[in-house]
Amino acid sequence: MTLALPAQKEGRRTFKVDFSVPVLLTFAALLCVLILLPISWLVMYSLSEVDPATKERVFTLAQFRTLFSDPDLVEPLITTMIVAISSSVACCLVAAPMGWLVARTDMPMTKMIRALVTASFVTPPFLGAIAWEILAAPNSGLLNKLYRFLTGAEMDAYLFNIYSMPGLIFVIACYTFPYVFVLVANALDRIPGDLEDASSILGAGTWTTARRVTIPLVLPALLAGALVAFLQAMILFGSPAILALPAGFHTMTTKIWSLFQYPPKPELAAAASLPLLFLTVMLLRGQQMILGRKGYSIVGGKSGEPRLIRLGWFVVPAMAFVVIVLMLPVFLPYFALLNAAFSPIATNLVTSATFTMKNFHFTFFELSTTQLALKNTFILGAAAATIGTVLALVISYATARKAITGYRVLGFLATAPIAIPGIVLGVGLFLAYTRPPFVLYGTLWVLLIAYITIELPAAYQQLQSAFRAVHPELEDASRILGATRLRSLRDVTAPLLRTSVLATWCFIFVSTVRELSAAIMLFTSETKVVSVLIFDLKESGDLGAIAILGLSMLVLTFTVVIFINRLPGFGSSGLRNT
Amino acid sequence: MTEKKFARRDVLKGTTALAAAGMSGALFAQPARAQAPAAAAITPELIEAAKKEGKVVFYTAMDLTLAQRLGREFEQRFPGISARVERSGAERVFTRIAQEFSSKIYAVDLANTSDHAHVIHWKRDGLLAPYLPEEVVKHYPKQYYDPEGFQIVTRVLVSPLGYNTNLVKAEEAPKSFADLLDPKWAGKMVKAHPAYSGTIMNSTYQTARDLGWEYFEKLAKQRIMQVQSATDTPKKIALGERAIMVDGAGYLIIQYKEKGDPVDIIYPEEGTPVATSPSVVFKSAPNPNAGRLFQNWMHSREGQQIIVDFARQYSPHAQTVEKPGVRKLADIKLMKEDAEAIEKGAEEIKKRYSALFKV
């Protein structure tokens, strides 16, 4: 690559060997392989088939013809759109007012509320979906039983039917609204009070200010949130597999997955993946265009604290709203899982007479895959988080400091996987790594690659914004004093970025542990992870074991996150950077 | 079946998987190509060699609790060998093995499937290792094992109807498949999936053959709750999530009823679908001795009695003792299993099924 030339000149100025250029180039090459390899296989497969006569791969558009004419494939595509749009709208309707309440009003216990939203983010969506089955299956669901008990309704009367399109939309929204909430709340946090003060001085009332000033300022964030929610809903595999299949309909992700049943149709699966990929790219482009136009540059700097709106008596309905919203993804499902874990029958309330450790015993002492899956999940989570953070750190350094000429390409490559849904990446990686030169299928490596690729964009964006906040003059000082790029990165920048690095590490770890859609395409019996094991157990209806495993998974996640934040020399450091 | 006066060895050479596997015809044409293996006992040498390997990996379509129970009993019987059980639906197990083998990953030592057609596939592709335990030759009716030793039927499964006795009174319960088409059962039935479960692949094929696909066409309009595993439908009616189970593991209904759950079994008038569930040892087994040891032990009287007592399934072992309260296999009007037809038609069956039931 010729990208390195200008940087090499720079290297000659000192007598020390500067490894930064080769290192950066290696990372660029690595990224190319990570992303381009599976995608090229995907495209190649979607446009070809094996000629039965010659056994050779020949070009064809047959897959795409099937894709857009076979109702078995068109219907899931339409369903997916309906589900994604509805749940995205639902997320915004709930998360926007909630974000506003938490960030801009004198609502009490906002820290607690934010923590609980984080808890709903940490909860894997498929686990939430299973918990909601226990709660709202039409006949055996706890809530429906309660409804019948309270109203004396007939045996088969029900209030909720989770095995339905609205049920699916609801559960997806439960676990995607944190994305919208965090974006909106952060944006509101950053809007300086000055603008609102100006509005008040000019005679606008509280509500007019909110309507005319605050809301327009936060719209881009809301839009971004809506988009993220849409994408999440579109690419989710677990929830539709758990809730849509029993109701008798497919979404695109479950359809792609079913195409791998024997005899597998990887070509058609590859072709079916591409609309998801295409749509994601288009939406992200659209978002950039909209946000590009509405670039309110007031956001930033350190002006007055945001002014909190007094809620007065309105605090009561506001609090009720927040509590209800948090019941849905956190309190109720966790209650259902705890109940199922220690009850002989998952959908009966546990009493002191029926309390049992049977499920616990079965999961940990009889189920022979538990240990393996927990071990794999832990190793993969820690490895993906560590490697992913380092990768994101180096790339965001290169782009934030424009360290090499090709930094834009590097930045683009690191963000590109955001457009690749997990299941699509799963298909691509399966095609890429089941054959020479890289036979990685069947090892933890292929899962590690998948996780790193999936989490890289978010990690990169987090760290890049952190880098922007650290002024380059500190690094320049270090370099003037003779340190190489890497050394100044290690000794100066990295310590300043501690908090962000830790946050990124934890983010990747949590996301890896809850990932299902890529893992479901890539696991083998020896490389099973907890999410896949839970999905397996779900298919045979072993709810007790699922509850125990799901809860242990949450405990593992929270323990690791807390432990990392308490590591000596990390987190507790006196250095701050905001 | 060849009832002529051959020496036993000749009979073994000539006879093949017989009616159950439905492939005798094809193989009679080329008899005695594969040497029947000598009947094998559990020798100290085998145990020693298995212990050196230290573990056995068993892919199985069995109900998870049974599979784990067998694994644990095996571990206790032969200390020093750990048993790793990988459970999924038979069709999933089959897909998994195909996927792993095509990527040259050989992790599985032995497998148990509830779709006999899989054995035809594996045998044809030369993936299986011949192995015949002594007890099988002595105590198994001939239709329950391959004389060349490529498969042994581990258990016989039936897929009857079932219902929740709290939700449906015994006298009102359906008696036949035809009864399920009554509009009063709409929205109240749960059914497993033939693309996941081998038992259901068998029951789907047999029901469609005997009652016609029109039957499923009508059934699909009854707002069926579609789950995957044949072991999930009994759980769903035990929970009371649905009143009637259209198909699934009959043995679980028996287990749950004995445990006191409000469920009962119905053997439909048209006949009950049946699936023989064979186990095989793979040629590529990474732990060949432990795999053989497990295969041998699982089909011994000891292993088989667990299948009867704990799992409430039908054992092909002549010496196993059935507990009272279970209808004998011979007393159930069974549909006819046809593995060869499924081997040829599996893809078509799955396709037609998903066209009707939408998933």
Cβ–Cβ contact A308 with B under 8 A: no
**Given a cut of 70, is residue A477 above it in pLDDT?**
yes
Q: What pLDDT does residue A254 have? A: 95
Q: Dig out the tokens for B4 from the structure.
A: 């002529």
> E strand or H helix at A150, and its extent?
helix A142-151
CB contact under 8 A, A250 and B359: yes
Helix (H, G, I), strand (E, B) or coil at A49: strand
Q: How confident is the model over A363-389, as pLDDT tens digits? A: 999 898 999 999 999 999 999 999 999
Q: What is the DSSP letter of A462?
A: H
Stronger pLDDT, B304 or A421, i.e. the higher one? B304
Taking an 8 Å cut-off on Cβ atoms, the answer to whether B196 and A539 are in contact is: yes
Cβ–Cβ of B231/A347 closer than 8 Å? no
Cα A530 → chain centroid: 17
Identity of residue A132: W
The answer, yes or no, to whether residue A458 has pLDDT greater than 60, is yes
Which of B63, B66, B86, B185 is the mutation pick for testing A, counting most A CBs within 10 A? Answer: B86
Q: Which residue, A169, A175, A167, A170, is CA-closest to A120?
A: A175
Which pLDDT score is estimated for B337? 96
On the question of pLDDT at B18 being above 60, the answer is: no
- CB count within 10 Å of CB A504 equals 25
Which whole number is the average pLDDT over A265-282? Answer: 88
Mean pLDDT calculated for residue range A453-468: 87
The pLDDT of residue B35: 67
| Preceding amide of A437 cis, omega within 30 | yes
pLDDT at residue B33 greater than cutoff 70: no
pLDDT at residue B6 tops 90: no
Kindly provide the b/e burial profile for residues A455-474, where b requires at least 16 CB atoms within 10 angstroms of the residue's own CB.
bbbbbbbbbbebbeebeeee
Q: What is the pLDDT of residues B179-207, one digit of tens each?
A: 999 999 999 999 999 999 999 999 999 99
Q: Band of the pLDDT at B140, cuts 50, 70, 90? A: very high
Pairwise CB contact (< 8 Å): A345 & B357: no
Strand pairing report for B225-226 and B263-266: unpaired
Collect all residues with Cβ–Cβ distance below 8 Å to A410 and sequence separation of at least 6.
A24, A27, A28, A31, A395, A398, A399, A404
What pLDDT sits at residue A11?
42
A 96-115 residues with CB below 8 A of B? Answer: none
Is residue A32 very low, low, confident or very high in pLDDT (cuts 50, 70, 90)?
confident
Q: Which of residues 35 through 74 in chain A touch B, CB cutoff 8 A?
A: 72
- Phi (first) and psi of residue B295, to 5 degrees: -60, -45
Tell how far CA B78 is from the center of its chain. Answer: 25
pLDDT of residue B3: 42
Which of A374, A427, A383 is closest to A552 using CA atoms?
Answer: A374
Give B278's DSSP letter. E
Is the CB of residue A248 less than 8 Å away from at least one CB of chain B? Answer: yes
The owner of tokens 């699922």 is: A546
pLDDT of residue A303: 55
Question: What burial class does residue A331 get, using C-beta atoms within 10 Å of its C-beta: 0-12 exposed, 13-18 middle, 19+ buried?
Answer: middle
Q: Are B266 and B163 in contact (CB under 8 A)?
A: yes
For B188, name the nearest residue in chain A, comparing CA atoms only. Answer: A156
* 3-class state of residue A155 by DSSP: coil
CB contact under 8 Å between B100 and A525, yes or no, is yes
Cα dihedral angle (A566, A569, A570, A576), rounded to 10 degrees? 120
CB–CB contact A138 B241 (8 Å): yes
Q: What is the mean pLDDT of residues A120-141?
A: 94
With a CB cutoff of 8 Å and minimum separation 6, the contacts of A132 are A162, A167, A170, A171, A174, A243, A333, A336
CATH of A78-263+302-341, one of 3.40.50.1370, 3.30.1280.10, 3.60.15.10, 1.10.3720.10: 1.10.3720.10
Asked if B64 lies within 8 A of A524 by C-beta distance, the reply is no
Indicate the residue of A244, A366, A541 with minimum beta-carbon distance to B231. Answer: A541
pLDDT band with cut points at 50, 70 and 90 for residue A194: confident
Q: Once rounded to an integer, what is the mean pLDDT over residues B329-341?
A: 96
Side chain identity, residue A186: N
Buried b (16+ CB within 10 A) or exposed e, A334-361: bbbbebbbbbebbbbebeeeeeeeebbe
A139: nearest CB among B82, B235, B240: B240
Q: Which two tokens stand for residue A567?
A: 């590591």
Q: What pLDDT shows up at residue B12?
A: 41
- pLDDT bin (cut points 50, 70, 90) of residue A498 is confident
Where would I find the beta strands (DSSP E) of B209-310?
Answer: 225-226, 244-245, 263-266, 274-282
Residues of A in contact with B227 (CB under 8 A): 245-246, 539, 541
**Across the interface, do A362 and B88 touch by the CB < 8 Å criterion?**
no
Q: How confident is the model at residue B212 (pLDDT cuts 50, 70, 90)?
A: very high
Poorest-pLDDT segment among A72-86, B25-39, B304-318? B25-39
- Measuring CA to CA, which residue among A127, A536, A123, A549 is closest to residue A370? A549
Q: For residue B350, which residues of chain A lie inside 8 Å, CB to CB? A: 261
pLDDT in tens, B74-113: 999 999 999 999 999 999 999 999 989 988 899 999 999 9
Strand ranges (DSSP E) for A213-297? Answer: none
* CA–CA separation, A78 and A98 (whole Å): 30
**Residue that is written with structure tokens 């391959």 in the block:** B146
Which pLDDT belongs to residue A568? Answer: 65
- Contact B359/A156, CB-based, under 8 Å? no
Backbone angles phi, psi at A291, to 5 degrees: -70, -35
A206 touching B (Cβ < 8 Å): no
The residue among A102, A438, A420 whose CA lies nearest residue A256 is A420
Task: Nearest chain B residue to A242 by CA: give it.
Answer: B227
Q: What is the mean pLDDT of residues B232-259?
A: 96
Mean pLDDT of chain A: 86
Nearest to B103 among A137, A163, A434 (CB): A434
Nearest CA in chain A to B103: A434
In sequence order, what are the residues at sequence separation of 6 or more whose Cβ sits closer than 8 angstroms to the Cβ of residue B33? none
Beta bridge partners of B156: B276, B314
Indicate which of A368, A446, A533 best probes the interface with B, i.e. most B CBs within 10 Å of its own CB: A368
CB A124 within 8 A of CB A531: yes
* 3 state SS of A34: helix
pLDDT of residue A301: 46
**Residues B261 and B241 sit within 8 Å (Cβ to Cβ):** no
Q: What is the mean pLDDT of residues A264-292?
A: 84
Q: List pLDDT tens digits, range A200-216.
A: 889 888 788 878 888 88
**Chain A residues within 8 A of B196 when measuring between CB atoms:** 539
Nearest to B239 among A72, A345, A362 (CB): A345
Q: What percent of chain B has pLDDT over 90?
A: 86
Q: Say how far apart CA A169 and CA A173 lie, in whole Å.
A: 6
Which residue, B38, B45, B343, B310, is CA-closest to B198? Answer: B343
Nearest CA in chain A to B239: A140
Cα separation, B20 vs B143, whole angstroms? 6
pLDDT tens, position by position, A303-314:
566 678 888 899
Domains of chain B: 8-155+276-326 (3.40.190.10), 160-272+334-357 (3.40.190.10)
Q: Does the pLDDT of residue B28 top 50, yes or no?
A: no
| Contact between residue A95 and residue A225 where contact means Cβ atoms under 8 Å apart | yes
**What is the model's pLDDT at position B139?**
97
Q: Which residues in chain A are closer than 8 Å to B236, comparing Cβ atoms? A: 140, 541
Sign (positive or negative) of CA dihedral A141, A143, A146, A151: negative
CB contact under 8 A, B350 and A261: yes
Task: Output phi, psi for B266, to 5 deg.
Answer: -130, 125
In sequence order, what are the residues at sequence separation of 6 or more whose Cβ sits closer than 8 angstroms to the Cβ of residue A150? none
DSSP codes of every residue in A545-565: HHHHHHHHHHHHHHHHHHHHH
C-alpha to C-alpha distance for A23 and A5, rounded to whole angstroms? 14
Q: Long-range contacts: B25-34, Cβ < 8 Å, 24+?
A: B26/B340, B34/B130, B34/B148
Residue B46: pLDDT band (50, 70, 90) is very high
The reported pLDDT for the residue numbered B8 is 44
Amino acid at B159: S
3-state DSSP call for residue A223? helix
Contact A26/B at CB under 8 A: no
What mean pLDDT do residues A12-31 have? 69
Tell me the C-alpha distance between B175 and B265, whole Å: 10
With 80 as the cut, is the pLDDT of residue A546 above it?
yes
Q: Which of B84, B62, B36 has the alpha carbon at shortest distance from B290?
A: B84
Report residue B336 CA to chain centroid gap: 14
Question: In percent, how much of chain A has pLDDT > 70?
Answer: 92
Q: Do A264 and B231 touch (CB under 8 A)?
A: no
Residue of A nearest to B187 (CA): A156
Q: What's the helix, strand, coil split of chain B in %, to 5?
A: 45, 15, 40
Smallest Cβ distance to B107: which of A138, A525, A539? A525
**Residues of chain B positioned with their CB less than 8 A from the CB of A366:** 65, 68-69, 72
Q: Are B88 and B96 in contact (CB under 8 A)?
A: yes
